[in-house]
C-alpha cells in the first residue's frame, strides 16, 4: 500500500506540481489552507505532511503549532516548503520540529529524495519504538512474574516457620491484611502522610509476612511450649527479632533495593518494641520506633489474641480483644494507631466473618 502524503499549500500550481512529482509513488491528499488541513487531519492520518510556510489566514508555523499540540498529529513528520531561503527561516523550521526543509520552486530529484528519506526515517523510528515497547512489556511481565514467584516463596517460607508453633499459616495472611487495613486507614485520615505513600504501603504489606522469620532459629521446646515461658526461655525467644535481621540480610539483602530491605528489617526487629520503651530488643520509645513496626505491633497482637495458640485459647468476643489492647494505649501501642484500629471494628468483623450473634 502506498504511503499517504498531505500537501498543504495555498498555490494551486504547487499542489498540482506536487501531485505530478509524487503521485506515481505516493497517494497525495491536498489542502489549500491550514484550516482545511486541520479539519482533514481530524479523520485522517497521513504518513508525511508537506507544509507551506507563507499562507494567508494561518501560516505554516501556526499550523505546525496545532499539529504538535495534538496527540493525534504530534508524531506525523513534517517537511516545510517555502520560497524563503533565509537561514533564520530554516532554523525556525527545525526549532518547531520539522524533519526537513525544501525550497521552492521544487527541484524534482531533491523533493523526491527528501520525501523518501523522511518517510524511511519515520518508519525506522516507528519500528524502533514498537520494538522498545514490546521489549519493555516483556521485561515488565517478567519482572511481575518474578515478583509473584518471590512473594510466593516469602509467604511459603513464613507459613512454614509459623507452622512450627502450631499455626496453620493464618497468622501470616491475617497480619498482612490487618497491616494493609491500618495503613490505608491512616492514609485516608491524613496521618503519617510523609511516610505512608502508596508505594510504601505496598512494600509494608509485602514485608509483613517476614516479621517473625527469626523464629526458625528458636528451639522447638520453647516455640511449642504449651505453658508460660521461664525468664530464661523468654530471653531466648526474644532473640528471634535479631535473628530475623540477619536472615533478612541473607535472603533478600542482595536482590532487593536498600529501602525495602530496611523496611523489612524494621518490622522484624522492632515490632516487639513498646511505646513506653519497655519492649525489646532495643528499648525504643514513642516515634523512635519505626512506623512500620508500630503498625505491625498492633496487627500482630490482635491476631495473637484472636487466634488459638499452643499456649492459649482464642480470646472472644472481639470486643474483649479491643478492651485488652486499649489497656496498652500509650504504653504498649502508639495511641494514634491503636485508636484508628479500634475504630475499624466493623471492618474487622466483616473480614473475620463475625456476626453480631456470634459475638
- pLDDT of res. 205: 92
Residue 154, phi then psi, degrees to nearest 5: -65, -45
Write out pLDDT tens, residues 216-230. 888 888 888 888 899
The answer to whether residues 96 and 61 touch, using CB atoms and an 8 Å cutoff, is yes
Helices (H), the chain: 12-22, 34-40, 60-68, 87-95, 108-163, 170-188, 198-207, 220-223, 231-238, 240-252, 258-270, 291-306, 318-326, 335-343, 345-351
Written as one string, the DSSP assignment of 177-207 is: HHHHHHHHHHHHTT-STTT--HHHHHHHHHH
| Alpha carbon 38 to chain centroid, angstroms | 37
Percentage of the chain modeled with pLDDT above 90: 57
**115: phi then psi, degrees, rounded to nearest 5:** -65, -45
Give the model's pLDDT for residue 151: 65
Contact 50, 5 (CB under 8 A): yes
Residue pLDDT, tens place only, 106-126: 888 999 999 999 999 988 888
Say what the pLDDT of residue 149 is: 52
3-class SS at 121?
helix
C-alpha cell at 192: 503519617
Q: Is the pLDDT of residue 167 over 70?
A: no
**Closest by Cα among 135, 305, 157, 166 to 244:** 157
Question: pLDDT confidence of 356, banded at 50, 70, 90?
Answer: very low
Predicted pLDDT of residue 166: 54
Let me know: does 22 contact 5? Beta carbons within 8 Å.
yes
Instruction: Quick: pLDDT tens for 290-338.
Output: 999 999 999 999 999 998 876 788 898 999 999 999 999 999 999 999 9
Distance CA 205, CA 174 (A): 11
Sketch out the chain's domains with CATH numbers: 4-134 (3.40.50.2300), 164-351 (1.10.3210.10)
pTM metric for this prediction: 0.60
Name, in order, each residue with C-beta under 8 angstroms of 209's C-beta and a sequence gap of 6 or more: 154, 155, 158, 172, 175, 176
Q: Any idea which of 31-35, 78-82, 217-221, 264-268 has the lowest mean pLDDT?
A: 217-221
In order, the DSSP letters of 300-328 are HHHHHHHS-BTTBPPP-SHHHHHHHHHTT
Binned at pLDDT 50, 70 and 90, residue 278 comes out as very high
**pLDDT(144) > 80:** no
Structural contact between residues 317 and 359, judged by C-beta atoms closer than 8 angstroms: yes
For residue 357, is pLDDT > 50?
no
pLDDT in the model for residue 153: 59
Amino acid at each position: 500500500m502506498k504511503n499517504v502524503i498531505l500537501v498543504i499549500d495555498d498555490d494551486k500550481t504547487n499542489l498540482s506540481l506536487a501531485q505530478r512529482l509524487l503521485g506515481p509513488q505516493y497517494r497525495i491528499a491536498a489542502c489549500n489552507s491550514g484550516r482545511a488541513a486541520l479539519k482533514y487531519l481530524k479523520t485522517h492520518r497521513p504518513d508525511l505532511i508537506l507544509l507551506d510556510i507563507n499562507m494567508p489566514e494561518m501560516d505554516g508555523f501556526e499550523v505546525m503549532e496545532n499539529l504538535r499540540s495534538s496527540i493525534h498529529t504530534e508524531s506525523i513528520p513534517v517537511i516545510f516548503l517555502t520560497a524563503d531561503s533565509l537561514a533564520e527561516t530554516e532554523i525556525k523550521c527545525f526549532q518547531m520540529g520539522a524533519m526537513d526543509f525544501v525550497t521552492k520552486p521544487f527541484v524534482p530529484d531533491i523533493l523526491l529524495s527528501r520525501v523518501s528519506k523522511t518517510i524511511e526515517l519515520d518508519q525506522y523510528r516507528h519500528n524502533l519504538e514498537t520494538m522498545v515497547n514490546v521489549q519493555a512489556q516483556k521485561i515488565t511481565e517478567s519482572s511481575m512474574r518474578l515478583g509473584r514467584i518471590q512473594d510466593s516463596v516469602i509467604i511459603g517460607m513464613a507459613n512454614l516457620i509459623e507452622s512450627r508453633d502450631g499455626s496453620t499459616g493464618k497468622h501470616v495472611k491475617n497480619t498482612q491484611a490487618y497491616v494493609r487495613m491500618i495503613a490505608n486507614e491512616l492514609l485516608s485520615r491524613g496521618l503519617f502522610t510523609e511516610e505512608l505513600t502508596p508505594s510504601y504501603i505496598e512494600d509494608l504489606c509485602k514485608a509483613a509476612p517476614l516479621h517473625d522469620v527469626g523464629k526458625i532459629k528458636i528451639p522447638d521446646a520453647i516455640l511449642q511450649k504449651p505453658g508460660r515461658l521461664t525468664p530464661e526461655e523468654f530471653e531466648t525467644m526474644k532473640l528471634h527479632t535479631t535473628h530475623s535481621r540477619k536472615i533478612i540480610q541473607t535472603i533478600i539483602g542482595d536482590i532487593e533495593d536498600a529501602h525495602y530491605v530496611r523496611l523489612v528489617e524494621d518490622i522484624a526487629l522492632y515490632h516487639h518494641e513498646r511505646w513506653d520503651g519497655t519492649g525489646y530488643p532495643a528499648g525504643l520509645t514513642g516515634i523512635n520506633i519505626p512506623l512500620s513496626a508500630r503498625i505491625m505491633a498492633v496487627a500482630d497482637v490482635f491476631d495473637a489474641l484472636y487466634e488459638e495458640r499452643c499456649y492459649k485459647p482464642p480470646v472472644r468476643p472481639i470486643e474483649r480483644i479491643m478492651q485488652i489492647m486499649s489497656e496498652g494505649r500509650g504504653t504498649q501501642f502508639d495511641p494514634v494507631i491503636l485508636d484508628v484500629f479500634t475504630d475499624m471494628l466493623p471492618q474487622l468483623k466483616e473480614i473475620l466473618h463475625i456476626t453480631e450473634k456470634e459475638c
